[in-house]
Structure 1
């Protein structure tokens, strides 16, 4: 097979700090989009628009399910893109700015007399927003495989990305409910949507400007149809194992995210506790992300990923007692989840470009976009199914929807909220390790010369 030819600007050593920070800034956009709908959209539908839990769950899932189909297509399109600025970077603007506008539209319904029309507005706006997100997220995630050849440098690159992602989750997750509650009612959701849209714009522009000095190594686009490319990617054993692990953990995270507002209101009895829960969840990640990076460089990415997963699951298991535990213990358990969550972002995101780079080195063809398209499809599916699964749990528990956010709930619904927030994500995380334990790519494998086993 032909070998990949690096451009003169391709590097195997350290990237400039400005590039690391610039690339990481894209997580401000992805973090806002990934966090706020999962946190706010289901309560908006059930407690503000009065939409039944199962229907609301379907509205939350459908646009993300569309992305599962669209993401590999977006990857294939960006694989074949040519531009003096690089094959991926222009898409940050092309899709990122529409993403911000459409995000605000989701919560900007003019107010219909019909619940059905309200549901249609949200569904159509969310579908359009998810489409824009696919064409931002896929090239963004593909970039590390092309801007550095270094196994360890990819981990360092992810340190900035995850640190800024954690900061965004903290900022967006804490401020979104606070903005909603400060303004109140439908207007609260509208103002919150506009504020988050502006945050997305900041991330998009910072990532585009910050990566202008990023070196690019882009082998020729893979030959064959998209179906043939997907078939090649599907045969990549280690990528398949890593994706399955990450998908199950994305489902676990999506389920917990969907439950935060419900736990605050119906378990802790304090709507404002949603902000504190987010601080407890994300605060450890801000502090410990560099520590996870250092730990991974010492023991390997897979072992680091395993330990962080176990910590996340342990914290979730403790939360099974949230109905009887003091509030301080609940916050402490969420903080333990946050410690694990930081590693569960750093390691898989650093392992993904390894798999794409091994394939490019072996074949001389660039499938980074297809790899990341499939990856983000899996992540999107997991995060989308999380609120959907949580909505099913609510329905099974007899949750009562309303239009004022203060509807009292039966004991069965409160128990369902706790179980969906604790035992379910813990079980998903532990099961995911069955696939991770068979993953084999390491520093020696990734650095192996062409023609050696990979």
Structure 2
């Protein structure tokens, strides 16, 4: 078998398999990738971060305070959509791992997801005003499920594609940094266009009509990133690992594949750590706009002053990760990120509830902004570390079980992430319901006065209460076993096995 060049193009005269038992492989996945390859691939991260940022920052507030759906029903519809999608993730990951086509294993899923993804993304923020609570709940649930599954159909194969660009321990960290660095411009666009343009009028975040204009504008950015990544996916489809075509139907083989995954101790650690990490993140983000509005009493303009440092922190996390990885192991960077994020999430609310912050609005913003910046920066470090760690864990899985499971590994991580985030949104909705948070605020949401006890409990749930959920995740991350030396041994052994194979 001929080797292809480092840029991912097949050699002259090479035959491209179509539906055979394996795909053309043997690409040089060790060494540095061209920057245009990494940047082109990384553009696909805009899809996930545009959609996820819009949902994490705005959707619960939009559905409850603007559209008038009770918090419990809103949490059930939004959280339920995430949970249904999480159940679908292993199926998508397994299908992607075993797919055969002239366009590779991953690109067909990415292309097929785009139309339903863009459609449901915009419909989610264009809820009809004339529906009753039951109809609004059912429509929101349907949109939530369809949007989340469409996002997974694009993002899981996209993630698996990145895991196959390089086998090098350090280069995978570089790919993860590029993904995050380019993708975070999607979050910057959500915050900047949201607070600074479309929701900057007198009604602020209560302006119902402005949300659809915002998502339509963001859809242009989303599509641009998706198409650039798809182009790179086509150009590098020959760099995929060699795999054996599945012989069983998907519904028959999926159980065995999942059982194999959970036999791997490393996978179990990553799965559970991600679960606890994302429950905290889901609760914190879902209630963030409520707390900013009613606990801190911030206007839309003041929210922008506070939330822009949050996006800058997410952006700074990418270049900061590079020197940290040169000095520390990936597990250490993950722990630094998790501990730092939880501390920054819990500290300001805790200090205020204890009566230790006696500040004017200007002083409050001066305190909140750097803490929000540090919280976002350390969250970015955590997520980049996860993105870099998972391909290494997939290598260990092949070493132990003899099978490649990139798609399923990212599906498992996505399952934990989405189930936890869905659980976090559901918890946030239940908190709103228990606290009798008013459902009908429409354009006057920013002017509503809530009881002091309700505001305090709302803030506790979003800050220190949610932070308590991450302690178990931090403890589990301490047990992650792979480092640079052990990964080098794994790759060396896998290379020797492949050379010895017929």
Question: What TM bracket, shorter-length normalisation?
Answer: over 0.9
Stretches of structure 2 that go unaligned for 5 or more consecutive residues are 1-21, 358-363, 496-502
Given that 1:57 and 1:391 are in contact with CA atoms closer than 8 Å, whether structure 2 keeps it comes out as yes
Give matches, 1:298-377, under 5 Å: 298-319=327-348, 320-322=350-352, 325=357, 326-377=364-415
* Cα drift, residue 113 of structure 1: 4.3
CA deviations on 1:207-249 (whole Å, 9 max, x unpaired) are 1124443332243256761000000001111121012112211
Please say which structure displays the higher CA radius of gyration: 2
Given that 1:104 and 1:194 are in contact with CA atoms closer than 8 Å, whether structure 2 keeps it comes out as yes
Given that 1:78 and 1:87 are in contact with CA atoms closer than 8 Å, whether structure 2 keeps it comes out as yes
Counterpart check, 1:78 vs 2:96: yes
Following the alignment from structure 1 to structure 2, what is the Cα–Cα distance between the partners of residues 359 and 431?
Answer: 24
Following the alignment from structure 2 to structure 1, what is the Cα–Cα distance between the partners of residues 465 and 246?
Answer: 40
Following the alignment from structure 2 to structure 1, what is the Cα–Cα distance between the partners of residues 176 and 384?
Answer: 6
Counterpart check, 1:14 vs 2:32: yes
Report the counterpart of residue 207 of structure 1 in structure 2.
229
Q: How many residues align?
A: 449
Counterpart check, 1:29 vs 2:15: no
Stretches of structure 1 that go unaligned for 5 or more consecutive residues are none
* Cα drift, residue 43 of structure 1: 1.0
Counterpart check, 1:287 vs 2:294: no
Given that 1:26 and 1:207 are in contact with CA atoms closer than 8 Å, whether structure 2 keeps it comes out as yes
SS state at 2:25 partner: coil
Report the counterpart of residue 442 of structure 1 in structure 2.
483
Report the counterpart of residue 270 of structure 2 in structure 1.
242
* Cα drift, residue 150 of structure 1: 0.8
Following the alignment from structure 2 to structure 1, what is the Cα–Cα distance between the partners of residues 399 and 162?
Answer: 15
SS state at 1:164 partner: helix
CA deviations on 1:50-83 (whole Å, 9 max, x unpaired) are 1111111111101101011100000111111122
CA deviations on 1:292-345 (whole Å, 9 max, x unpaired) are 232123211001111121211221231222465323212222112122112111
Judge which range, 392-401 or 414-423, deviates more.
392-401
* Cα drift, residue 198 of structure 1: 2.6
Following the alignment from structure 2 to structure 1, what is the Cα–Cα distance between the partners of residues 352 and 109?
Answer: 44
Given that 1:73 and 1:226 are in contact with CA atoms closer than 8 Å, whether structure 2 keeps it comes out as yes
Counterpart check, 1:220 vs 2:244: yes
CA deviations on 1:81-137 (whole Å, 9 max, x unpaired) are 122332112322211332112100112234324232222222212211112112112
* Change over 3 Å in CA distance of 1:446–1:5 after alignment to 2: farther
Structural RMSD (CA): 2.3
Given that 2:161 and 2:233 are in contact with CA atoms closer than 8 Å, whether structure 1 keeps it comes out as no
Given that 2:333 and 2:381 are in contact with CA atoms closer than 8 Å, whether structure 1 keeps it comes out as yes
Following the alignment from structure 2 to structure 1, what is the Cα–Cα distance between the partners of residues 125 and 188?
Answer: 21
Given that 2:307 and 2:369 are in contact with CA atoms closer than 8 Å, whether structure 1 keeps it comes out as no
Following the alignment from structure 1 to structure 2, what is the Cα–Cα distance between the partners of residues 63 and 288?
Answer: 30
Given that 1:179 and 1:188 are in contact with CA atoms closer than 8 Å, whether structure 2 keeps it comes out as no
Counterpart check, 1:87 vs 2:112: no
* Change over 3 Å in CA distance of 1:260–1:290 after alignment to 2: same
Counterpart check, 1:139 vs 2:169: no
* Cα drift, residue 438 of structure 1: 1.0
Report the counterpart of residue 276 of structure 1 in structure 2.
305
Following the alignment from structure 1 to structure 2, what is the Cα–Cα distance between the partners of residues 220 and 443?
Answer: 28
Judge which range, 246-255 or 183-192, deviates more.
183-192
Given that 2:281 and 2:424 are in contact with CA atoms closer than 8 Å, whether structure 1 keeps it comes out as yes
Given that 2:270 and 2:413 are in contact with CA atoms closer than 8 Å, whether structure 1 keeps it comes out as no
Following the alignment from structure 2 to structure 1, what is the Cα–Cα distance between the partners of residues 246 and 465?
Answer: 40
* Cα drift, residue 10 of structure 1: 4.0
CA deviations on 1:154-198 (whole Å, 9 max, x unpaired) are 111000111123332222134234455247633112222322333
Judge which range, 329-338 or 183-192, deviates more.
183-192
* Cα drift, residue 373 of structure 1: 1.3
Given that 2:54 and 2:190 are in contact with CA atoms closer than 8 Å, whether structure 1 keeps it comes out as yes
SS state at 2:388 partner: helix
Judge which range, 150-159 or 137-146, deviates more.
137-146
